[in-house]
């Protein structure tokens, strides 16, 4: 590249974006001439509530990944992998992942590996000067559908009329969602506790979604009535998906699904096992799936393609929903989507707590997923100041239920380093240095 071209490039960009673009161009030139990029450091900072991974290289490019905001305790687990990946070429993503992938585990422990994988792809895209989706086979869609995920409105009660009112607000949300998911049943303790004796066990506390048991007639009728009230508001203009568990007994789940068949529900998620359940129980899901025409969905807690094998090969579900920040990263998600497609199973990834870097990763992989893709769960930057420390996202992000796929190198988002430094704790003060 001539000096004149370098000056023109810098003149067309500004600040951190210019430096990042120039570094990517220089790295790309060095690679074409036989140079090798090398990982020199792995760092992790808790920014807000999200563990954020930074992989540093010897050629001025850094890649970023992010774990869910519910997992600030993951920092030591991320740093555990540092000595495994130092001096490796981060653009050889699979070679690096072979060293660490087997050392993860199902939710929450797969998150550390997943965040590192996403950061590797960020570097690979920058080094090649292309968006990550180009490295995953190229995009087959220019915009990707999302559903509400982290967009929720407060509720004052948990009777059918309250859910109808809430859906009216969701339907009018500025994002224009064409698909909305709501927590019901055991995934929604307030719904289950809004009436007495909804199931044959006492309420549990502690771990997330700890309730489980056989429903009483009044409990089952209450959940069905709440769903009917929501669907009446949404009509056929907006799809309704249900995050239902885990915690249902198989026979209750079958009765529930059959009762909803006239409503054309998009899916029932995690009814039997799910969030933080370290096994998928494919045989029970198969029994549920073949008993109803309502699509059955699970997968957010599962780590690695191998642990989806029974669910997919047995066609135990209709919709699979891995989280890229739990499953092992975005290439792992893409592999599962392709394999599911071979078996007639749709893909709707989880992602409610994945943050803004996670959002960028979702967009890149969703652009390249096969035609079994439905939508991914839309995450927010939390706290709100995340939107002041990340550059590169469209404004507005969501338009009429879709996000336009951007074409900047890597994940296509960067930190406003000065603004982000102000949000670091004293312990993490050197994260961007």
pLDDT in tens, 102-125: 999 999 999 999 999 999 999 999
331-346: pLDDT as tens digits = 999 999 999 999 999 9
What percentage of residues in the chain have a pLDDT greater than 90? 90
| Cα angle: 320, vertex 373, 131; to 5 degrees | 115
- CB–CB of 417/403 below 8 Å? no
Query: For residue 25, which phi and psi values (nearest 5 degrees)?
Result: -65, -45
Q: How confident is the model at residue 207 (pLDDT cuts 50, 70, 90)?
A: confident
279-336: pLDDT as tens digits = 999 999 999 999 999 999 999 999 999 999 999 999 999 999 999 999 999 999 999 9
Q: Would you list the domain boundaries of the chain?
A: 3-130+420-428, 135-408
Unique residue bearing structure tokens 């036989």: 34
- CB–CB of 48/383 below 8 Å? yes
pLDDT given for residue 47 in this prediction: 98
pLDDT given for residue 208 in this prediction: 87
- CB–CB of 391/414 below 8 Å? yes
pLDDT given for residue 260 in this prediction: 98
- This prediction's pTM: 0.92
148-165: pLDDT as tens digits = 999 999 999 999 999 999
Provide the 10 A C-beta neighbour count for residue 156.
7
- Give the CA count within 13 Å in the CB-facing half-sphere of 157: 8
| Cα angle: 123, vertex 426, 383; to 5 degrees | 70
Instruction: Say yes or no to pLDDT of 275 above 80.
Output: yes
Sign of the dihedral defined by the CA atoms of residues 132, 20, 385, 113, in that order: positive
What DSSP string runs through 253-275? HHHHHHHHGGGT-SEEESSSS-T
CATH level 3 topology of 135-408: TIM Barrel (3.20.20)
349-394: pLDDT as tens digits = 999 999 999 999 999 999 999 999 999 999 999 999 999 999 999 9
Residue (of 431, 391, 394, 432) closest to 415 by Cα position: 391
pLDDT given for residue 331 in this prediction: 98
CATH level 3 topology of 3-130+420-428: Enolase-like; domain 1 (3.30.390)
53-95: pLDDT as tens digits = 999 999 999 999 999 999 999 999 999 999 999 999 999 999 9
pLDDT given for residue 27 in this prediction: 54
pLDDT given for residue 35 in this prediction: 67
Exposed / middle / buried, residue 98 (Cβ in 10 Å: 0-12, 13-18, 19+)? exposed
Instruction: Say yes or no to pLDDT of 416 above 80.
Output: yes
């Amino acid at each position: 590249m001539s000096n004149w071209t370098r000056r023109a490039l810098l003149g067309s960009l500004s600040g951190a974006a210019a430096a990042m673009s120039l570094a990517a161009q220089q790295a790309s030139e060095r690679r074409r001439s036989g140079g090798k990029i090398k990982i020199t450091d792995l760092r992790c900072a808790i920014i807000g509530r999200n563990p954020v991974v930074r992989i540093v290289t010897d050629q001025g490019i850094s890649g970023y990944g992010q774990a869910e905001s519910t997992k600030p305790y993951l920092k030591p687990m991320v740093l555990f992998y540092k000595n495994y990946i130092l001096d490796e070429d981060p653009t050889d993503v699979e070679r690096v992942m072979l060293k660490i992938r087997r050392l993860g585990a199902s939710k929450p422990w797969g998150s550390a590996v997943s965040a590192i994988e996403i950061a590797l792809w960020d570097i690979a895209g920058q080094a090649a000067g292309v968006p990550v989706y180009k490295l995953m086979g190229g995009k087959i869609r220019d915009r990707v559908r999302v559903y509400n995920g982290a967009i929720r409105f407060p509720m004052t009660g948990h009777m059918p009329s309250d859910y109808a009112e809430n859906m009216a607000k969701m339907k009018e949300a500025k994002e224009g969602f064409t698909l909305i998911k709501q927590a019901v049943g055991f995934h929604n303790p307030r719904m289950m506790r809004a009436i007495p004796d909804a199931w044959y066990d006492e309420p549990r506390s502690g771990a997330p979604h700890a309730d489980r048991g056989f429903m009483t007639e009044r409990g089952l009728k209450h959940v069905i009535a709440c769903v009917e009230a929501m669907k009446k508001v949404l009509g056929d203009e907006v799809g309704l998906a249900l995050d239902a568990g885990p915690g249902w007994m198989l026979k209750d789940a079958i009765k529930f699904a059959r009762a909803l068949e006239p409503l054309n529900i998009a899916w029932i998620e995690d009814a039997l096992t799910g969030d933080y359940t370290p096994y998928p129980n494919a045989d029970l899901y198969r029994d549920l799936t073949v008993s109803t025409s309502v699509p059955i969905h699970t997968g957010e807690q599962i780590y690695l393609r191998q642990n989806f094998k029974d669910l997919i090969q047995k066609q135990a579900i209709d919709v699979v929903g891995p989280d890229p920040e739990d499953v092992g990263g975005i290439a792992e998600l893409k592999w599962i989507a392709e394999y599911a497609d071979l078996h007639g199973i749709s893909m709707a990834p989880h992602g409610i707590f994945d943050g803004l870097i996670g959002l960028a990763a979702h967009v890149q992989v969703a652009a390249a997923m096969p035609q079994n893709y439905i939508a991914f769960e839309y995450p927010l930057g939390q706290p709100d100041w995340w939107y002041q420390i990340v550059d590169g996202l469209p404004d507005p992000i969501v338009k009429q239920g879709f996000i336009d796929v951007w074409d900047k190198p890597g994940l296509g988002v960067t930190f406003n380093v000065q603004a982000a430094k102000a949000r670091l704790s004293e312990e993490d003060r050197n994260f961007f240095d």
